[in-house]
Chains A and B, each alone.
Chain A
């Protein structure tokens, strides 16, 4: 590790939803991520600090937090790029209950993922021949554009529609549904379209595009939701789903 060159004041959320920010002074080092800062506080100043992380390389989606008011994946966020007036404020993700300190309760997020029929429903068994999938088919390309979601919850935390309507499924769940309705191997298309067209579904989206703005994977859930709106409308006109 490189030598500490200066210090940084960092405010971390402590407690539950009725908690408060507590300020710590930590050494500022080269190539330091926000997750490094949080880890340093836990290991050197306060071992009771709770937070969540796993892979530390931007693959697992565990470490997303609110950094200076914006949802970010903390393991890939360099402190020097987000520091404001020499301060760093780290809070748990918004739009989710707080478990403790920086750990948000992601159960509502994943429950909505399930409510949007986010699980793949196989149309064939292992005894059937493997279905050939051409990577350049329009549906496959649409699925591929949405499939790299790591479920970090950054889009969900940045979505004002979720903030205003707690029943709204949210960008990640709908983005997942979009990747599946474009998967020709999936057998749950109609009931999935019914699920995402119901109350709290895709038609609640106001197209603020905050999900697109804050996705650390540079995905575009707004595009996925717009696609679902079109498919939902087509299915309704054909009488496949009810209003």
Chain B
């Protein structure tokens, strides 16, 4: 029934789940690259420093701000899910999910302001 739209997904908590999943995938892609870069230090400080100079580029700094957002939103979103599943139920889930997104956005913005 492809013609039927899936508007049931248009709610805050479904989008919170989507963001949690996508941020997890993003971090899973990032982590191996992160360890590869750290591995450059084993081969010598020169190679690592050469790569780290790339992080001075504005495009990379924007990407790092995005990474900060992914990290914070995935961490806090994960805490929310753990609390749902392991603690007595508490209300205000939509408010909490929205606050997590806002805090994550603020963290990324503060990082960007500091590095630019």
Which A residues are in CB contact (< 8 Å) with B9? 160, 210
Interface of A, helix, strand, loop or mixed by DSSP: mixed
- Closest Cβ of chain B: how far from A141's Cβ, in Å? 12
Docked pose: A229 CA to B14 CA in angstroms:
20
Please count the residue pairs between chain A and chain B whose beta carbons lie under 8 angstroms apart in the complex. 64
**Could you tell me if A94 and B4 are in contact, using CB atoms closer than 8 angstroms?**
yes
CB of A17 within 8 Å of the partner chain: yes
Contact A68 B11 (CB under 8 A): no
Please tell me which one of the listed residues B5, B13, B84 contacts residue A89 in the complex, with CB atoms under 8 A apart.
B5
The distance in angstroms between the C-alpha atoms of A236 and B25, with both chains bound, is: 31
B35 at the interface (CB under 8 A from A): no
Within 8 A of A (CB), among B1-44: 1, 3-9, 11, 13-14, 17
In contact, B85 and A210 (Cβ under 8 angstroms):
no
| Interface positions of B (Cβ within 8 A of A) | 1, 3-9, 11, 13-14, 17, 81, 84-86, 89, 93
Q: How many residues of A sit at the interface, in one of the four size bands?
A: 20 to 34
Smallest CB separation, B71 vs chain A (Å): 21
A43: Cβ under 8 A from any B Cβ = no
Identify 14 residue pairs between A and B in the complex whose beta-carbon atoms are under 8 Å apart, listed by A's number. A13-B3, A19-B1, A20-B3, A68-B7, A70-B8, A160-B14, A208-B17, A209-B14, A209-B17, A209-B93, A210-B8, A210-B13, A212-B13, A213-B13
Q: Contacts of B6 on A, CB cut-off 8 Å?
A: 69
CA distance A210 to B13 in the complex (A): 8
B1 & A13 in contact (Cβ 8 Å cutoff): yes
Q: Nearest 4 CB-CB pairs, A to B? A: A69-B7, A69-B5, A209-B13, A223-B89
Does A189 touch B at the CB level, under 8 Å?
no
A92 vs B3: C-alpha distance when bound (angstroms): 12
- Indicate which residue in B1, B4, B5, B84 contacts A207 across the interface (CB closer than 8 Å): B84
User: CA of A213 to CA of B13 in the docked complex: distance in angstroms?
Assistant: 9
Assess the A213–B4 pair: CB atoms within 8 A.
Answer: no
Residues of B within 8 A of A13 (CB): 1, 3-4
Residues of A within 8 A of B81 (CB): 207
